[in-house]
Chains A and B, each alone.
Chain A
Amino acid sequence: MKPAVLARKVGQALLAPLIAVVVAVLVTSVVVVVAGASVSEFWDVMTQPPSSRNMVNIVNQSSMIFLAALAAAIGFRMNLFNIGIEGQYTLASFTAAVVAGMAWFPGKLNILVAVVVAMVVGALWAGIAGVLKVTRGVSEVISTIMLNAIAGTLVGYLLSNHGQQYGQGRRTTPIPESSQLAGWTPFAEKDGAIWTLVLLAVLAGVGISFLINRTRFGFDLRATGMNEPAAVASGVNVKRMVVISMLLSGAIAGLIWMPALFGGADYYGPPFQRTLGFTGIAVALLGRNRPLGIFFGAVLFAWLNEQANPLALVADISPSVVQITQGVVVLAVVIAYEVVRRWAAAAEQRALRKALDEQPTAEGVAA
């Protein structure tokens, strides 16, 4: 009985993503056909084994997407829609780059300080939305959207007025050489290095996973997400939880770009990678807000992005087609989860009835 139940649960968990991937493949193929390109060439390019260089990039990109999705997932687990990851990591990345560029501290300590600053800035920016929600009843969806726009303009203003002229644009002072991390080169030198601070993603993943599943705080957080009035009645201070989880979410968001900053980006400027915050939201939905699911989602997204690069050259298809695949896979997965959930709930009811019918009832009265 027990292994069978486990097998069914695993099956149910995998069914939805499977359906979603199939749907996404179909939709993308249709779009490719509509655009007048060859479907087989397209999938040839997408599924060929990545080169060593691609592998390194996929790992690096996955780490940032993973952190972004993790940040979103913390909020989602308690029904807080922190749409503001984008603004939080933009502002945090900028501030951290400025602090690291100042080089107030020597070598590795400088890195530590900058990372902490990034977390604090991200947390505070997200905290504004949290405080507005609990004190003034402002929906975090709207406030974080506003805060995204404000953060974007604020950073633009600071950079253009106080940044360093560099080529066409402006940038922050590059971090000193002593604070740059060489990373790990698994292949040839020319294939690039896996950033050292990819480790941040691993640490954050393990840490958040433990926090949510094994601690009282995590239980309170999940309880609030599942049924807020019940959580209140059980003694959870929901207002405090909202602020804390926004702070936590923002702190993780602050980490997003840190692997890149100390792994070769060296400064905040025009090459800064935007929209990771929104990608993170999509991946969190895809991974069902579970760290393991998010991990697979992040790798999938990074894979798609990286493999799409040669599309224009080889198959004459714009690489932006993978954005469609990504969007469809997210929407399909949430729909598929809903369908599977209903089906599983009905199945559980059936199994329960069956089990109870076999049990002899004490009196003549059954439940």
Chain B
Amino acid sequence: MTTVSQEKAGPAVSGGGIEVRGVTKRFPGVVANHDVNITIRPATVHALIGENGAGKSTLMKILYGVQKPDEGTIAVDGQQVSFASPTDAIKVGIGMVFQHFMLADNLTVLENVTLGGESLFGIGDQARAEINRISDAFGFDLDPDTLVEDLGVGERQRVEILKVLYRGARIIILDEPTAVLVPQEVDSLFANLRELRASGHTILFISHKLDEVLAIADDITVMRRGTTVGEADPKTATKRQLAELMVGSELPSPETGESTVTDTVLLELAGVNVVDEGGRHLLKDVSLTIHKGEVLGVAGVEGNGQSELVETIMGMLRGTGEITLAGTSMGSWHTRERREAGIGFIPGDRHLHGLLLDAPLWENRMLGHQTLPPASKGGLIDRRNAKADTERIIAEYDVRTPGINNTARSLSGGNQQKLIVGREMSGEPILLIAAHPTRGVDVGAQAAIWDHIRRARREGLGVLLISADLDELIGLSDRIEVILRGELVAEFDPRTVTPQDLGAAMTGGKESA
């Protein structure tokens, strides 16, 4: 993506100020937003910051008409508005780019873009021409007739932005747009945003990354526990001040302390390849080692083979090449045998791979450990011991719940994750695979989970840490490997590396530091 000149981006738009006054939204038993007040000036980049669960997403859904507020008012350019559905929001010129892309894989770019906005340019050649025009103007490089499933992450985000521009939106809401991007891509995204601002667009930028916010925003609003707690001027505010506003205290930062790395090799991958049905390499010639007492971090843009790497080590995915655990080849082992051999697994998507949401906590305690005590004995479920051990985990890992008979669904994200960490650390593992261990958890739980990973390392476990949070990787790892298109392309020492170095390697900019 390159910086574009203004006349190519189309005529300037005007207006686009938003006033949010006293907005409250309740869900069954939860107050997601409470007395939220924000003023967004037209043609500015307005950042909305707050930690996970602060109520940013709910507010954003209200602004886009996905949900209706229970109380309070929203005004656009001084006109009070009420949205029954996103259609109404689109009508007044609000567009939204979701963090999780809202694209239908089996439809083409053209179909995805025109969907819902068919009355603008139809669904035929006129629409195709308009898409090409916008794509050319912003250097999006998108072919309207490609199937979305054939596009990469960056291209998909550009389709999302194109969708919004196609509808002539004046106000663009971006929900954590940088979560899936590397630093260099973030820079060009910001260039685009500045360009949009210059042409009169208003941008609401949602994030919890303070550096980015300070770099791009004109105004900052901070949310905590469902309400707006303050505003800040990015020209004068410091990271520390913002952090204190966000969490009510200083942000914890990950740090490992003294090295505990030993010479004993725990996990070794040699020339591992995984190929999909189409003959594409998901993992290409991956070789790595993890020693006892070592945390190996893997950095990479999402979708570059991290989940395949994890699933191959766990035996959920089959590839070629040699995998040994503590000197024994485990290539032929099934997932269960690998777990029994002492691999603990904190999956990247806990709802998908980590929990039985509608089962009680004590059954979730058994998941992944159902063949071993205390969960079972001789093929039979050992309810008494499983329940007792669940009580222990709840106490030791500070899982906040009324009891072990509650369902996993009823826990907050952080408590769910603490339960998983507790469970995986209970099996006396020798190797811990932790994929995005602090994603979507609150700050308190984040600090606790970091502590547990540090403790695991001290106790001589090997840890494979996959994360999109570069600070977390640098803070916790003894060594960082970078994965790009299924290949390990560079290795760094976290004591010397900067996020920029990592970013360059993650996008293929540089081979090594």
Residues of B within 8 A of A296 (CB): none
Cβ-neighbour of A219 out of B316, B381, B398, B401 (below 8 A): B381
B424-477 residues at the A interface, CB under 8 angstroms: 442-445
B416 to chain A, nearest CB (A): 10
The answer, yes or no, to whether A356 is at the interface (CB within 8 Å) is yes
Cβ-neighbour of A353 out of B29, B355, B442, B444 (below 8 A): B29
Is the pair B407, A233 in contact by a Cβ cutoff of 8 Å? no
Residues of B within 8 A of A219 (CB): 363, 366, 370, 376, 381
Is the pair B336, A235 in contact by a Cβ cutoff of 8 Å? yes
Q: How far is the CA of A362 from the CA of B447 in the complex (A)?
A: 13
Q: A216-B381, A227-B355 are in contact. Are A234 and B367 (CB under 8 A)?
A: yes
Among the listed stretches B2-10, B208-216, B345-353, which one makes contact with chain A, having 4 or more residues with CB under 8 Å of it? Answer: B345-353
Residues of B within 8 A of A363 (CB): 249, 444
The answer, yes or no, to whether A35 is at the interface (CB within 8 Å) is no
Residues of B within 8 A of A354 (CB): 29
A242-260 residues at the B interface, CB under 8 angstroms: none
B324 to chain A, nearest CB (A): 19
Q: How far is the CA of A213 from the CA of B381 in the complex (A)?
A: 8
Residues of A within 8 A of B354 (CB): 230, 233
Cβ-neighbour of A359 out of B249, B369, B380, B400 (below 8 A): B400
Q: How far is the CA of A5 from the CA of B402 in the complex (A)?
A: 12
Residues of B within 8 A of A233 (CB): 314, 316, 335, 345, 347, 353-354, 368
Is the pair A214, B381 in contact by a Cβ cutoff of 8 Å? yes
A366 to chain B, nearest CB (A): 7
Residues of B within 8 A of A347 (CB): 28
Is the pair B400, A345 in contact by a Cβ cutoff of 8 Å? no
Q: How far is the CA of A5 from the CA of B338 in the complex (A)?
A: 39
State the interface size on chain B (CB cutoff 8 A).
Answer: 54
Residues of A within 8 A of B407 (CB): 345, 348
Closest to B354 in A: A230
Cβ-neighbour of A234 out of B368, B381, B415 (below 8 A): B368
B325-369 residues at the A interface, CB under 8 angstroms: 334-340, 345, 347, 352-359, 363, 366-369
Q: How far is the CA of A350 from the CA of B402 in the complex (A)?
A: 12
B308 to chain A, nearest CB (A): 14
Residues of A within 8 A of B358 (CB): 226
Residues of A within 8 A of B28 (CB): 346-347, 349-350
A285 to chain B, nearest CB (A): 18
Residues of A within 8 A of B72 (CB): none
Is the pair A232, B335 in contact by a Cβ cutoff of 8 Å? yes
A336-367 residues at the B interface, CB under 8 angstroms: 345-356, 359, 362-367
The answer, yes or no, to whether A223 is at the interface (CB within 8 Å) is yes
The answer, yes or no, to whether A159 is at the interface (CB within 8 Å) is no
Q: How far is the CA of A160 from the CA of B402 in the complex (A)?
A: 65
Cβ-neighbour of B249 out of A230, A234, A364 (below 8 A): A364
The answer, yes or no, to whether B152 is at the interface (CB within 8 Å) is no
B434 to chain A, nearest CB (A): 14
Residue-by-residue, is A211-242 near B (CB-CB < 8 Å gives 1, otherwise 0)? 00111111110110011011111111100000
Is the pair B339, A235 in contact by a Cβ cutoff of 8 Å? yes
Residues of A within 8 A of B247 (CB): 365
Residues of B within 8 A of A348 (CB): 406-407, 410
The answer, yes or no, to whether B379 is at the interface (CB within 8 Å) is yes
B277 to chain A, nearest CB (A): 12
Closest to B345 in A: A233
A48-73 residues at the B interface, CB under 8 angstroms: none
Q: How far is the CA of A303 from the CA of B19 in the complex (A)?
A: 65
Cβ-neighbour of B415 out of A213, A362, A367 (below 8 A): A367
B105 to chain A, nearest CB (A): 18
Residues of A within 8 A of B281 (CB): none
Residues of A within 8 A of B314 (CB): 233
Is the pair A214, B380 in contact by a Cβ cutoff of 8 Å? yes
Closest to B358 in A: A226
B397-422 residues at the A interface, CB under 8 angstroms: 398, 400-402, 405-407, 409-410, 412, 414-415
Q: How far is the CA of A365 from the CA of B448 in the complex (A)?
A: 12
Q: A214-B381, A219-B381 are in contact. Are A227 and B357 (CB under 8 A)?
A: yes
Q: How far is the CA of A353 from the CA of B248 in the complex (A)?
A: 21
Closest to A233 in B: B353
Q: A229-B353, A353-B29 are in contact. Are A364 and B316 (CB under 8 A)?
A: no
The answer, yes or no, to whether B21 is at the interface (CB within 8 Å) is no
Residues of A within 8 A of B402 (CB): 351-352, 355-356
Q: How far is the CA of A202 from the CA of B371 in the complex (A)?
A: 29
Residues of A within 8 A of B443 (CB): 365
Cβ-neighbour of A216 out of B368, B376, B445 (below 8 A): B376
Most buried by B among A216, A227, A229, A230: A230
Q: How far is the CA of A347 from the CA of B407 in the complex (A)?
A: 12
A218 to chain B, nearest CB (A): 8
Residues of B within 8 A of A359 (CB): 400
The answer, yes or no, to whether B225 is at the interface (CB within 8 Å) is yes
Residues of A within 8 A of B380 (CB): 214-216
Residues of B within 8 A of A232 (CB): 316, 335, 353
A142 to chain B, nearest CB (A): 21
Q: How far is the CA of A347 from the CA of B412 in the complex (A)?
A: 15
Q: A219-B366, A236-B336 are in contact. Are A346 and B359 (CB under 8 A)?
A: no
Q: How far is the CA of A281 from the CA of B135 in the complex (A)?
A: 54
Q: A230-B367, A233-B335 are in contact. Are A345 and B381 (CB under 8 A)?
A: no
Closest to B377 in A: A216
Closest to A230 in B: B353
Closest to A354 in B: B29
B313 to chain A, nearest CB (A): 12
Residues of B within 8 A of A236 (CB): 335-336
Most buried by A among B338, B370, B412: B370
Is the pair B370, A234 in contact by a Cβ cutoff of 8 Å? yes
Residues of B within 8 A of A364 (CB): 248-249
Residues of A within 8 A of B347 (CB): 233
Q: A213-B381, A350-B28, A367-B53 are in contact. List 15 more A-B contacts (CB 8 A).
A: A214-B380, A222-B359, A226-B359, A227-B356, A230-B356, A231-B367, A232-B335, A234-B335, A235-B335, A235-B340, A235-B371, A363-B249, A364-B248, A367-B412, A367-B414
The contact sample of 21 A-B pairs, CB cut-off 8 A, is: A215-B379, A216-B376, A216-B379, A226-B357, A230-B367, A234-B368, A236-B336, A237-B335, A345-B409, A350-B28, A352-B29, A352-B402, A352-B410, A356-B400, A362-B398, A363-B249, A364-B249, A365-B247, A366-B225, A366-B442, A367-B442
List of 9 A-B pairs having minimum Cβ-Cβ separation, nearest first: A235-B336, A350-B29, A346-B28, A234-B368, A367-B412, A365-B444, A233-B353, A349-B29, A355-B402
Residue ranges of B at the interface with A (Cβ–Cβ < 8 Å):
28-30, 53, 225, 247-249, 314, 316, 334-340, 345, 347, 352-359, 363, 366-371, 376, 379-381, 398, 400-402, 405-407, 409-410, 412, 414-415, 442-445
